Amino acid sequence: MTSSTATATATDAVGILGTGSCLPGHVVTNEEVGAPAGVTDEWIVRRTAIRERRWAKPDEATSGLATTAARRALADAGVPPEDVALVVVATSTPDAPQPPTATTVAAELGVSSGTPAFDMNAVCSGFVFALTAAERMVRGTGGYAVVIGADIYSRTLDPADRRTVVLFGDGAGAVVLGPSAGRGVFATRLATFPEKRDLIRVPAGGSLIPASPESLARGLHYFTMDGRAVRHFVESRVGPLIRSFLDAHLTDGDRRPHLVPHQANGRMVEALAAGLGFLPEHTHMTVRRYGNTGAASVPITLDRAADRLAPGDLVVLAGFGGGMAAGLALVAWETSRARRG
């Protein structure tokens, strides 16, 4: 295991100033994905809690969803694009191998030429990895960063694979980071378990197995996952990691935190939250409507949770997935929708 832990000080704190999200308009029902995979709506809901998801249309790309989410986050924060000092896009489904999807997003947003923009691929942990990197880069500078999680997994799914096709949706979520008067993003932890890296894979399309008629015929461009082993990983590694993280950074005087987890599978998230002692009303879930949206799931869920958060609330962001990896962040919330209105 490799890991990284950081704690911010009050004098250089960076907080979340605004959130935004973007979901494609096309709603895909359980009947639609279940029929080719040979499963029913009842089977899907019982095993995953998912009732529908959104899939991108053929003319929609990751950069487009990411740009819309970022625009909404900037508007929510009241920060103009020309004041943005950094753009980071967490994705494992970029528009193309090159250029970075973040450069397209930066151009579409209208940020100043010369502003750094880059992609980060830590799969479903990607948003928290990107948030951690961006927070450290702008800490103490007075600058603003746009951090986006965006994925279009529908294009990597085997319609006949019931282990994967029923789980995933498409979407993007974003936050704006900037100077905080409070604690802001006050603790983070990143961990990778590379010995487990083959549990989730898209084997072809890179330098090891380049795209070819043979790789396409063999279905090597499809997303594959060992669901049972992934569940064991979450139970045995992610749960204890979150518990030790909270024990290290929460004090007796802190409010009971909210949990914004990766929306891997509704039943898995319910079990994880219950095992950690999170109250149902403090556990935020979007998986029932949107499915697992990869790196987008944490920021989408945070954007939906923002209406229920009040200044002073503590929020745990928990990403986990392919790599295998986990990214955790503790955030002191300091704004409200009503005030930002």
Q: What pLDDT does residue 168 have?
A: 97
Residue 22 annotated among the catalytic residues of the structure: no
Tell me which of 84 and 336 has the higher pLDDT. Answer: 84
For residues 32-52, give the mean pLDDT: 96
For residues 82-102, give the mean pLDDT: 97
Is 1-341 a domain of CATH 3.40.47.10?
yes
Q: What pLDDT does residue 253 have?
A: 74
Q: What pLDDT does residue 81 have?
A: 97
Question: pTM of the entire structure?
Answer: 0.93
In this prediction, residue 195 has a pLDDT band, given cuts at 50, 70 and 90, of very high
Q: What pLDDT does residue 338 have?
A: 47
Convert the chain into a string of H (helix), E (strand) and C (coil). Answer: CEEEEEECCHHHCEEEEEEEEECCCCEEEHHHHHHHHCCCHHHHHHHHCCCEEECCCCCCCHHHHHHHHHHHHHHHHCCCHHHEEEEEEECCCCCCCCCCHHHHHHHHHCCCCCCCEEEECCHHHHHHHHHHHHHHHHCCCCCEEEEEEEEEHHHHCCCCCCCCCCCECEEEEEEEEEECCCCCEEEEEEEECHHHHHHEECCCCCCCCCCCHHHHHCCCCCCEECHHHHHHHHHHHHHHHHHHHHHHHCCCCCCCCEEEECCCCHHHHHHHHHHHCCCHHHECCCHHHHCECHHHHHHHHHHHHHHHCCCCCEEEEEEEECCCEEEEEEEECCCCHHHHC
The pairing of strands 144-152 and 84-90 is parallel
In this prediction, residue 340 has a pLDDT band, given cuts at 50, 70 and 90, of very low
Asked whether the predicted pLDDT for residue 337 surpasses 60, the reply is no
Which position among 22, 30, 249, 262 bears the catalytic label?
262
Which position among 22, 124, 265, 284 bears the catalytic label?
124
Q: What pLDDT does residue 254 have?
A: 80
Q: What pLDDT does residue 255 have?
A: 79
Asked whether the predicted pLDDT for residue 252 surpasses 90, the reply is no
What distance in Å separates the CA atoms of residue 18 and residue 7, rounded to the nearest whole number?
Answer: 21
In this prediction, residue 3 has a pLDDT band, given cuts at 50, 70 and 90, of low
How high is the mean pLDDT of the chain?
Answer: 93
The tens digit of pLDDT for each residue in 205-244 reads 999 999 999 999 999 999 999 989 999 999 999 999 999 9
Which position among 22, 282, 284, 292 bears the catalytic label?
292
**Percent of the chain at pLDDT above 70?**
95
The tens digit of pLDDT for each residue in 155-189 reads 999 999 999 999 999 999 999 999 998 899 999 99
Q: What pLDDT does residue 251 have?
A: 86
In this prediction, residue 7 has a pLDDT band, given cuts at 50, 70 and 90, of low
Asked whether the predicted pLDDT for residue 46 surpasses 50, the reply is yes
Q: What pLDDT does residue 335 have?
A: 74
Q: What pLDDT does residue 339 have?
A: 42
Asked whether the predicted pLDDT for residue 203 surpasses 80, the reply is yes
Matching residue, tokens 């990869």:
294
The tens digit of pLDDT for each residue in 135-156 reads 999 999 999 999 999 999 999 9
